[in-house]
Amino acid sequence: MTVRCEVLETGPLTTVQDTGRTGQAALGIGRSGACDRTAYRLANRLVGNSEDAAALEVTFGGLALLAEADLVYAITGAPCSGVPLNAPAILRKGEVLRLGVPRTGLRTYVAIRGGVDVEPVLGSRSTDLLAGLGPAPLKAGDVVAAGKDHGPMPGVDLAPVAEPAGGLVTVRLLPGPRRDWFTDAGWASLLGQTYKVSSNSNRIGVRLEGEPLERARNGELPSEGMELGALQIPPSGLPVLFLADHPVTGGYPVIAYVAPENLDPCAQLRPGQPLRFTP
Amino acid sequence: MRLLPCGGTALLVELADLDEVLGYYAALLAEPPAGVVDIVPAARTVMVVTDPAVTDLAALERSLRATVPTADRRAAGDLVEIPVVYDGADLDDLAGILGCDVAEVVRRHTADEWTVAFCGFAPGFGYLTGRSDWNIPRRESPRTKVPAGSVALAGEFSGVYPRESPGGWQLLGRTDVAVFDLDRDPAALLQPGRRIRFVDAGRA
């Protein structure tokens, strides 16, 4: 019998995510996938799924699921009140799993043993909000069905994982392809100021509020490829840090890229949080 | 050729012009460096993305420097015909911009052989370049809704909107050909390197 649960509430945004679509960027199809890939993979491992099984990505808590049969699940990422964290757990038939507001961080992952069973689109079960691909975001009344693809339980009671940082976050940058479109003063300003994460942020990018960066040259940049972690500077001079649903190409200069070890923490930045960059 | 850094897993290859981009992209497709997961051609650049578990950027850089663009890539791709009903809302404006009549706009658009240079903006949106020197300004105010299948011009490019979206390109007409179809593999009809000929399908 297929294990199913009913979505009672979704919070601001809950989507199905996996590792995304690779190898199709030349056709204008981005990778998408879970924003915090470390947390997403851990959730799957805790319930014996393969690391690339589809799971739920919950933005700022608020998800409520009613189990129609006993199911095994694990919750990782931003720590929501009211639910067990970083540990496999059982939801009994008729019980409701309800994620409160996270103490820190932004994105919480809910893996269900067997994986979330939805039809893949172009090889992935991820919702790409920019491209409009994959399953629609969850809404109340939807049914989430568990797949049957899993291995043995890992025999782990609890994964010791640090919570996402609550206060000032420092992110290491690598110079990007268009560093030379900005003056040295602009680069120093990027590294010297404390930005604030804008509420106008989403799975496409983290927008930052602060002092605009000075450019060394104006004019138009022909569109070019962009990758996860690009720090693109539009004419406003205020950086946009690209996350999972970023555009495949863009026409604004990329001054820097986030160092690989800081990509997942960037997915946990919440509006209002202070952010600094370091070389 | 200039190599530019793109974080921990990618490099951007900057080339002289679109023709060289097409040739370089073709050469990379014919012989992809080890560990490459995505190759993204654009107007003047090709971005190459690797799987860091398989290769590192130093090895990628050596492969990219050793890659020689394929000559005259434009004639190499297969040819796809796209029938167009030329009744676009911007045809008169286009005639004004080009200093000719509407029939001449259509004649030029159908006479050119176009090549898909790269994709972007939306899944399956191809930037097509022709052999003649188009230089079409975008509309001053973009439309909030351009219907799927709209055939349009902007700058040196022609394009077909894969789905309804906002857009500032000048509209020539429309086609029933689905340029992006999730039930087709690959879903995108307009793949980089492919040659396109627009055919006048007459008035609907």
Domains contained in chain A, CATH given = 4-145 (no CATH), 169-277 (2.40.100.10)
C-alpha A94/C-alpha A253 separation (Å) is 52
Interchain CB distance below 8 Å, A26 and B163: no
Average predicted confidence (pLDDT) for chain A: 96
| Residue B72 clears pLDDT 80, i.e. is over it | no
B8 — contact with chain A (CB < 8 Å)? Answer: yes
Both tokens of residue B178? Answer: 């689905």
Point out the residues of chain A with pLDDT beneath 50. none
Q: What is the homologous superfamily of the domain B79-200 according to CATH?
A: Cyclophilin-like (2.40.100.10)
Model confidence at B155: pLDDT above 60: yes
Residues in chain A: 279
Residue A190's Cα: distance from chain center in Å?
24
Residue B201 CB-half CA count within 13 A: 17
Q: Is the pLDDT of residue B16 over 80?
A: yes
Does the structure show a pLDDT above 90 at B76? Answer: no
ipTM above 0.90, yes or no: yes
The pLDDT of residue A219? 82
CB A29 within 8 A of CB A122: yes
pLDDT of residue B186: 87
pLDDT band at residue B71 under the 50/70/90 scheme: confident
Distance between CA atoms of residues A31 and A203, nearest Å:
12
Q: Which residues of A touch B38 (CB under 8 A)?
A: 22-26, 31
For residue A9, count other CB atoms closer than 10 A to its CB.
16
Could you give the CA distance from residue A68 to residue A260 in angstroms, rounded to a whole number?
A: 40
Closest chain A residue to B191, measured at CA: A27
B chain contacts of residue A227, beta-carbon cutoff 8 Å: 6-7, 9-10, 47, 49
Q: Strand A230-232 to strand A240-242: parallel, antiparallel, or no bridges (unpaired)?
A: antiparallel
Query: Hey, what are B200's tokens?
Result: 């006048």
The pLDDT of residue B77 is: 75
Q: What is the pLDDT of residue B74?
A: 64
Hunting for tokens 């998800």 — which residue is that?
A: A63
pLDDT at A119: 95
What CA–CA distances, in Å, run from B193 to A1, B18, B41, B177? 48, 11, 10, 19
For B117, nearest residue in chain A (alpha carbons): A26
Q: Given this structure, which CATH class describes domain B2-66?
A: alpha beta
pTM equals: 0.94
The CA distance from A53 to A147, in Å, is 9
Average pLDDT score over chain B: 93
pLDDT digits (tens, 9 = 90+) for A122-139: 999 999 999 999 999 999
Using DSSP, state whether A72 is helix, strand or coil: strand
